[in-house]
C-alpha cells in the first residue's frame, strides 16, 4: 500500500513508519516539527520507499498520486505545562490538529477511497467513573478544564471520523491509545514514566505525587504499534482500546524503575498536582483480543531494559 502518516516525526508516528516500511509498504510522512523531531526519522532519509513533507495538517494538504491509507497521528500530546511542545502551551494548535487536521485527512481518505485510521487517546475517558475502561464508556471529562484542549480535540476527532464513516461511507478505524513508552519518547513529556526514568538515570530521588496510590498501566511501544497495524488491516470501525491492562500504583512503578536502573536515591513525596489528574487508568482490551487477536507481550521490566540505552544516549550518559 501507499500510506500517509501525519505526525511521522513523533514518538509513535516514527515507529509506525518503521513498521509499515518493514511490511513492504510505501510511506509518506508529514510533520511540522512543533512537537516531532527530525532525529526520529533521520534513519529513513535514504529509504527509497519513504518520502517526507513538512506540513501543518490543520492547513490544506495535498498528496500527489494514489493513497491507500492515511493514519492521523499529528497532535501535541504532552501534559507538561513547562514544555514548549506540550498542549498547555500549544492549546490552539492542539485543537486545530484534532479538528481541522482530522477534517483534512478525512477529506484525503474520501477523495482517494482510502482507509483512515485516527489516533485517539485514553484521555477521552477523562477521570473515569468505571474501571477498567471499556470502549462504550462515554467518559467523565471537563470541557473547559486545563486538559480539555487535548481531551476535547480527540473527542471531536472521533465524532467527525464516525460521521464520515456513516455519511460518506469512508472506511475508518479509531485506536484509543493508553500510556506507552519506549525509545524516542521525549523525557520532557511530563507524564510519570519519562519523568521517573529521567530522574533515575540522573541518580535523583523519584517524585511521587500524593501517596502514590493512583494507578497507571504502561505498554511498550512495539506492542502498541503491532496492535495499531492489526487495526489498520482490519474491518473494525468502532473505537478499540490498545494498551497494557497490567495496572499498578505509581509507587509500585517508581520502585520498579529504581530497581531496573540501579538508582539508590529512593523516592520523594510531594503534594498531589491536580484533582483533575486521573486517579485510575487501565484499558479493557477485550475488544482488541477478540477482533484483532492482540494483547501485549513485553513485560514492564523488559520494556524498560530495552528503552534505557536510548534514554542514556539522549542524556549523554555512558
Among all residues, which ones are annotated catalytic?
A: 150
Q: Look up residue 223 and give its three cell numbers.
A: 506492542
Amino acid at each position: 500500500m501507499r500510506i500517509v502518516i501525519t505526525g511521522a516525526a513523533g514518538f509513535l508516528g516514527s515507529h509506525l513508519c518503521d513498521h509499515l516500511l518493514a511490511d513492504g509498504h510505501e510511506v509518506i510522512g508529514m510533520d511540522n516539527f512543533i512537537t516531532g523531531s527530525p532525529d526520529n526519522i533521520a534513519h529513513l532519509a535514504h529509504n527509497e520507499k519513504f518520502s517526507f513533507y513538512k506540513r501543518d495538517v490543520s492547513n490544506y494538504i495535498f498528496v500527489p498520486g494514489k493513497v491507500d491509507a492515511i493514519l492521523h497521528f499529528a497532535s501535541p500530546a504532552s501534559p507538561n505545562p513547562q514544555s514548549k511542545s506540550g498542549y498547555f502551551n500549544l492549546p490552539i494548535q492542539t485543537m486545530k490538529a484534532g479538528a481541522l487536521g482530522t477534517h483534512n485527512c478525512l477529506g484525503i481518505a474520501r477523495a482517494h477511497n482510502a482507509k483512515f485510521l485516527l489516533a485517539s487517546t485514553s484521555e477521552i475517558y477523562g477521570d473515569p467513573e468505571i474501571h477498567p475502561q471499556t470502549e462504550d464508556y462515554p467518559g467523565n471529562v471537563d470541557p473547559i478544564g486545563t486538559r480539555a484542549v487535548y481531551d476535547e480535540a480527540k473527542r471531536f476527532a472521533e465524532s467527525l471520523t464516525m460521521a464520515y464513516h456513516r455519511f460518506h461511507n469512508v472506511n475508518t478505524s479509531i485506536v484509543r491509545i493508553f500510556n506507552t513508552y519506549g525509545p524516542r519518547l521525549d523525557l520532557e513529556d511530563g507524564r510519570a514514566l519519562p519523568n521517573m526514568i529521567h530522574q533515575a538515570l540522573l541518580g535523583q530521588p523519584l517524585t511521587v505525587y500524593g501517596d502514590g496510590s493512583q494507578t497507571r498501566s504502561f505498554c511498550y511501544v512495539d506492542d502498541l504499534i503491532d496492535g495499531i497495524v492489526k487495526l489498520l488491516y482490519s474491518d473494525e470501525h468502532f473505537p478499540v482500546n490498545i494498551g497494557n491492562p497490567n495496572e499498578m500504583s505509581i509507587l509500585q512503578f517508581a520502585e520498579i524503575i529504581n530497581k531496573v536502573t540501579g538508582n539508590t536515591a529512593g523516592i520523594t513525596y510531594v503534594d498531589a498536582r491536580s484533582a483533575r489528574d486521573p486517579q485510575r487508568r487501565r484499558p479493557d482490551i477485550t475488544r482488541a483480543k477478540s477482533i484483532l487477536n492482540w494483547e501485549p507481550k513485553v513485560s514492564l521490566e523488559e520494556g524498560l531494559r530495552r528503552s534505557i540505552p536510548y534514554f542514556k544516549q539522549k542524556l549523554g550518559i555512558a
